[in-house]
Chain A
């Protein structure tokens, strides 16, 4: 039990989903009925939280036991602050009601008021509760009773500029009422109303109901009111079923709206904001919010649960208004909003546009939160992903997660299918060579490619297929680590680092030595080979580079990658100069190398590391030796076949402590 607890503490409380600028926006929970609010310069998202039907509840129906709150500063990275209210906590609620439907949260006077529908302990239907907090993410304190006079679902609260608040809800039509200054009670008379009798159910006693039904709204099923003010216009927006099966239309919810100069109407119906979902997902539910000068529509679909429209996911689109205040119809997209950092995983299956024939599919139909991939069917097909931010790139390469059934190729371009090539990939899934690479067809592969061109700022990415069909899960740009920095001609002398490692070296561009196995590096072989190369050294035309390593070791493999003809099978000559303020007796050179190496101090061989070596700090040390006062020259040769060549070296004193009181006066 204790173990389980600590596990959930570690995993449960706060999670951040990084860099997924796409729809849906939450990728590990079902979320629906999103109310987005801007508090303290951040967007807070209060959705309902769909779960799979719990045993004993109605199958294929909504099932919601708690609320999470999420926040974001860029509409891309969302932080899940965890559960803020759950059904067992509600004093007046049915602890197993699973009816925590669409909520809202508003700020007034520095306090946050969270409104939520829930099943009461007894009786049918819904009541609406309030919880208050000092921070948008809670902790929330629950009121002991629901709001009197409100029987229904989908609360929405509008705090007007004059400080008066209004509440809207869905129950016997869409109703609206004034709230008292305490934000927890209706302002005005409650009237006794007879509840409509549901077929097969007993007659209900009359109830006290407040507010008034909103006038001027169209016929047809309506719920989920969301009211807001923009300039002098009040907007009442709501999911609305306009069609019916009888007239052959799709009888599922649109998002519609009405406008008024007064917060409680009467309303002037204007039309729809978003049409019915194409896949017949029955509900939609929404909010509109202005953030950093742009209006956004938050809504939901059932993208992660295509066969069950009671498990939904929140999406976001930009919204624009006409000059008369009417709203331009919004089309749902996969791409959503926000700029994707090029260094994040870019899910190109959430594309902005595609050529005909491109498709998307779940990576795992049994675990849909693992996302989708896009398939480009053949040469010439393309896919565009808008708004990737290239500004974090320095020295980058591109990584792609792809699969294919035959060897193929694709490119990543800027702007359009004919745009400048950023990187080209060859996908080899079938090759004869090697024991481990048999047939990779149909397997997800992580491939890399160097960049031919790096766009500036924010640009659209276009993937173009240059061969047979290829599927792409994601793209990600990565910056190479900096391994070393060239030393300028006027550089001041370097010092060894705190551990005594010598990081400044003059390195000759590597000599190609095609070696297949490192087993051949015997003492005799090394001496003969290095003597031969040493004799040839003065005649070598190869260039030398003076570098400061960013690490305690010098990454010769990366040096070869940058300045050599081959990375494996290379011989490296390395030299440095050591200026000692005084003679140092009884010190030892301590070195490690990948692979074998010989070390000379002032032309005397002092250490040899033979065989198939990997670099180990202080792998071998020289006999005790003397560093001269003034100039000393340290040279080493490292040879490697297959291996990540590098070396590290320092001097240790009699007690094994690193020697650091000398200078390395090398410059370019």
Chain B
């Protein structure tokens, strides 16, 4: 379990430089709400009033609309409506701690839709300015086990509190009393997974550009009402918390967690980075794979491409061209004849030019075999900027290292390599890190099947035989490791 996870991370750490950027477009936002999908588009709302829209999850631009101003909203689809919750105040900035949290509904998040109309906002909780509490930064959880709707809220000024709303009205449940569940954090969110409730909170310093130490921590509980304990058993009500994501990779200050489940075993977390060092230190939307390690959530690394073995999780064989194995010529020393006085020499890797002449000129099919770090097993994965993307990444091309020979999906739902990458959609690949650290690799398009493919993925039909088949998180046939070794 650990090894799988580490392999993915390890491979990524070795990349010499960033091959692809964070979310593209103009993803400038602070305190983004959990990403919501509406009619095929993605939305996130931030502090201030507006929010971002994306057609594909990768390229973001402003344009989402939320009235009421204030700070740090969250949004949740309940039935066929969207419930938006936000703090109408600013958490002590420029004023006191009289916080108010309101909810409102909309049938759509698309400001251009004729149905786009928010209901009147309703106050669901408030802090009176005199207590150790500031009612801002709400995060919602619709409990999948009970159908009950929970909200955590609060900031550093006192406690994080839990309240319950009526999921049919968005109003506070009658008679519901606030419960203190944490201190020392803000921008909290609740999630549920596999019998555990997780409270995510943002710790550290906000709003100080490249010096912001914002980071996201977590505790978990068997009951939504807590206590939320961290990995050493410390209650978040006493300041406990285990790190989910901190600075790194030229961004700092991740805050305001949101979880989006794309598919079974395919999860992402959204946040903002206080500062993107590549973009003038502006605050930007961040999307990272969400991994689960021994029952704890942890942010995966941003996948940027590189040169890898594509190793099947099924057998551990490497995806390779179906070409003749070319032996490396070696002056062999039998172990019973070793001359220990001879100096050791470094044997060079087999080079592409040593073998490429033996390969056919046209399309070459694929198989899986023992990894021997040979040219027909080494794949370069490169983002294709103009090809768009999906939540978390752009589309990639997958070519044999040093060549333009590209992995492609075929109309009979098999695989081939074409001698020259043309940009055709069946040569573009969606690569997502799964919750266990392995990867799912999907062609953008399968010839003969209309539209963008979201079902078929690179799949081990047998130990030695790769194909395309329906994604299934429960099967190792659907999973791959990307290893640079």
A residues at B contact (CB < 8 Å): 3-4, 6-7, 10-11, 15-18, 28, 364, 366, 370, 397, 399, 401, 431, 433-438, 443-448, 478, 480-481, 517-519, 555, 592, 594, 611-612, 614-619, 642-644
- SS class of chain A's interface: helix, strand, loop or mixed? loop
Q: Contact string, B202-222, partner A, CB cutoff 8 A, digits 1/0?
A: 011100100101000000000
Q: How far is the CB of B399 from chain A (nearest CB, A)?
A: 46
In Å, the complex CA distance between A179 and B457 comes to: 81
In Å, the complex CA distance between A481 and B208 comes to: 33
> Is there an interface contact between B203 and A437, defined as CB atoms closer than 8 Å?
no
Residues of chain A lying within 8 A (CB to CB) of residue B90 = 434-437
> Is there an interface contact between A612 and B213, defined as CB atoms closer than 8 Å?
yes
> Is there an interface contact between B128 and A11, defined as CB atoms closer than 8 Å?
no
Q: Which 3 A-B residue pairs are closest in the complex by CB-CB distance?
A: A434-B94, A436-B90, A616-B239
Give me 17 other A-B pairs in contact (C-beta within 8 A), A436-B91, A437-B90, A443-B88 excluded.
Answer: A6-B147, A15-B174, A399-B130, A401-B126, A431-B94, A434-B90, A436-B89, A447-B98, A448-B98, A478-B128, A518-B205, A519-B211, A555-B132, A592-B239, A594-B156, A612-B213, A643-B156
Could you name 14 residue pairs across A and B whose Cβ atoms are closer than 8 Å? Answer: A6-B147, A7-B146, A10-B148, A397-B130, A401-B126, A435-B93, A436-B47, A436-B94, A443-B88, A445-B98, A446-B127, A448-B128, A614-B239, A617-B239
> Is there an interface contact between A519 and B208, defined as CB atoms closer than 8 Å?
yes
Q: How far is the CB of A614 from chain B (nearest CB, A)?
A: 4
Which residue of chain B lies nearest to A399 when distances are taken between CB atoms in the complex? Answer: B128
Q: Contact string, B142-155, partner A, CB cutoff 8 A, digits 1/0?
A: 00011110000000
Q: How far is the CB of A304 from chain B (nearest CB, A)?
A: 16
Partner of A446, one of B98, B146, B240: B98
> Is there an interface contact between A3 and B146, defined as CB atoms closer than 8 Å?
yes
B residues at A contact (CB < 8 Å): 47-48, 69-71, 88-95, 98, 100, 120, 122-123, 126-132, 145-148, 156-158, 166, 173-175, 183-185, 203-205, 208, 211, 213, 234, 238-240
Which residue of chain B lies nearest to A28 when distances are taken between CB atoms in the complex? Answer: B174
> Is there an interface contact between B93 and A4, defined as CB atoms closer than 8 Å?
no
In Å, the complex CA distance between A433 and B94 comes to: 6
Partner of B175, one of A3, A15, A364: A15
Partner of B128, one of A446, A518, A519: A446
In Å, the complex CA distance between A251 and B108 comes to: 49
Q: How far is the CB of B323 from chain A (nearest CB, A)?
A: 56
Residues of chain A lying within 8 A (CB to CB) of residue B148 = 7, 10
Q: How far is the CB of B160 from chain A (nearest CB, A)?
A: 12
Residues of chain A lying within 8 A (CB to CB) of residue B185 = 614
> Is there an interface contact between B129 and A446, defined as CB atoms closer than 8 Å?
yes
Residues of chain B lying within 8 A (CB to CB) of residue A478 = 128, 130-131
In Å, the complex CA distance between A467 and B148 comes to: 44
Partner of B100, one of A18, A437, A446, A619: A446
Q: How far is the CB of B274 from chain A (nearest CB, A)?
A: 13
Which residue of chain A lies nearest to B99 when distances are taken between CB atoms in the complex? Answer: A446
> Is there an interface contact between B129 and A614, defined as CB atoms closer than 8 Å?
no
Q: How far is the CB of B346 from chain A (nearest CB, A)?
A: 47
In Å, the complex CA distance between A618 and B90 comes to: 30
Partner of A434, one of B93, B166, B203: B93
Residues of chain B lying within 8 A (CB to CB) of residue A16 = 175
Q: How far is the CB of B362 from chain A (nearest CB, A)?
A: 57
A-B pairs with beta carbons under 8 A, tally: 114
In Å, the complex CA distance between A107 and B429 comes to: 78
In Å, the complex CA distance between A83 and B185 comes to: 44
> Is there an interface contact between B128 and A644, defined as CB atoms closer than 8 Å?
no
A594, A611, A616, A643: residue with the most chain B Cβ atoms closer than 10 Å: A616
Q: How far is the CB of A616 from chain B (nearest CB, A)?
A: 3
In Å, the complex CA distance between A518 and B100 comes to: 26
B71, B91, B100, B127: residue with the most chain A Cβ atoms closer than 10 Å: B100
Which residue of chain A lies nearest to B87 when distances are taken between CB atoms in the complex? Answer: A436
Residues of chain A lying within 8 A (CB to CB) of residue B146 = 3, 6-7
In Å, the complex CA distance between A137 and B239 comes to: 46
Partner of B203, one of A370, A481, A614: A614
Q: How far is the CB of B188 from chain A (nearest CB, A)?
A: 14
> Is there an interface contact between A436 and B70, defined as CB atoms closer than 8 Å?
yes
Residues of chain B lying within 8 A (CB to CB) of residue A364 = 120, 122
In Å, the complex CA distance between A642 and B48 comes to: 22
In Å, the complex CA distance between A543 and B183 comes to: 31
> Is there an interface contact between B174 and A448, defined as CB atoms closer than 8 Å?
no
Q: How far is the CB of B57 from chain A (nearest CB, A)?
A: 29
Q: How far is the CB of B264 from chain A (nearest CB, A)?
A: 20
> Is there an interface contact between A11 and B183, defined as CB atoms closer than 8 Å?
no
In Å, the complex CA distance between A437 and B88 comes to: 9
In Å, the complex CA distance between A332 and B205 comes to: 57
In Å, the complex CA distance between A437 and B205 comes to: 22
Q: How far is the CB of A18 from chain B (nearest CB, A)?
A: 8
Which residue of chain B lies nearest to A616 when distances are taken between CB atoms in the complex? Answer: B239
In Å, the complex CA distance between A499 and B257 comes to: 32
Residues of chain B lying within 8 A (CB to CB) of residue A3 = 145-147
In Å, the complex CA distance between A15 and B172 comes to: 14
**Contacts A7-B146, A11-B166, A436-B69; A619 near B94 (Cβ below 8 A):** no
> Is there an interface contact between A612 and B238, defined as CB atoms closer than 8 Å?
no
In Å, the complex CA distance between A518 and B205 comes to: 9
Residues of chain B lying within 8 A (CB to CB) of residue A448 = 98, 128-130
Residues of chain A lying within 8 A (CB to CB) of residue B173 = 11
> Is there an interface contact between A644 and B156, defined as CB atoms closer than 8 Å?
yes
In Å, the complex CA distance between A617 and B230 comes to: 12
In Å, the complex CA distance between A553 and B145 comes to: 36
Which residue of chain B lies nearest to A7 when distances are taken between CB atoms in the complex? Answer: B147
Which residue of chain B lies nearest to A16 when distances are taken between CB atoms in the complex? Answer: B175
Which residue of chain B lies nearest to A568 when distances are taken between CB atoms in the complex? Answer: B92
Q: How far is the CB of A2 from chain B (nearest CB, A)?
A: 9
In Å, the complex CA distance between A435 and B207 comes to: 13
> Is there an interface contact between B128 and A436, defined as CB atoms closer than 8 Å?
no
In Å, the complex CA distance between A4 and B79 comes to: 13
> Is there an interface contact between A617 and B238, defined as CB atoms closer than 8 Å?
yes
In Å, the complex CA distance between A420 and B70 comes to: 37
Partner of A614, one of B48, B91, B94, B184: B184
Residues of chain B lying within 8 A (CB to CB) of residue A435 = 48, 90, 93-94
Residues of chain B lying within 8 A (CB to CB) of residue A7 = 146-148
> Is there an interface contact between B184 and A616, defined as CB atoms closer than 8 Å?
yes
In Å, the complex CA distance between A4 and B183 comes to: 33
**Contacts A7-B146, A437-B94; A616 near B238 (Cβ below 8 A):** yes
Residues of chain A lying within 8 A (CB to CB) of residue B183 = 614-615
Which residue of chain A lies nearest to B185 when distances are taken between CB atoms in the complex? Answer: A614
In Å, the complex CA distance between A108 and B183 comes to: 57
In Å, the complex CA distance between A17 and B174 comes to: 8
Q: How far is the CB of B73 from chain A (nearest CB, A)?
A: 13
Residues of chain A lying within 8 A (CB to CB) of residue B145 = 3
Residues of chain B lying within 8 A (CB to CB) of residue A619 = 239
> Is there an interface contact between B205 and A519, defined as CB atoms closer than 8 Å?
yes
Partner of B158, one of A11, A366, A436, A644: A644
In Å, the complex CA distance between A15 and B175 comes to: 7
Partner of A4, one of B70, B147, B238: B147
Q: How far is the CB of B47 from chain A (nearest CB, A)?
A: 8
**Contacts A612-B213, A614-B203; A447 near B88 (Cβ below 8 A):** no
In Å, the complex CA distance between A644 and B132 comes to: 8
> Is there an interface contact between A445 and B100, defined as CB atoms closer than 8 Å?
yes
> Is there an interface contact between B239 and A615, defined as CB atoms closer than 8 Å?
yes
Residues of chain B lying within 8 A (CB to CB) of residue A594 = 156, 184
Residues of chain B lying within 8 A (CB to CB) of residue A18 = 175
Partner of B123, one of A15, A444, A517, A642: A444
> Is there an interface contact between A644 and B157, defined as CB atoms closer than 8 Å?
yes
In Å, the complex CA distance between A614 and B156 comes to: 8
Residues of chain B lying within 8 A (CB to CB) of residue A447 = 98, 129
Residues of chain B lying within 8 A (CB to CB) of residue A397 = 128, 130
In Å, the complex CA distance between A16 and B176 comes to: 11
In Å, the complex CA distance between A130 and B159 comes to: 53
Which residue of chain A lies nearest to B69 when distances are taken between CB atoms in the complex? Answer: A438
In Å, the complex CA distance between A444 and B125 comes to: 12
> Is there an interface contact between B98 and A436, defined as CB atoms closer than 8 Å?
no
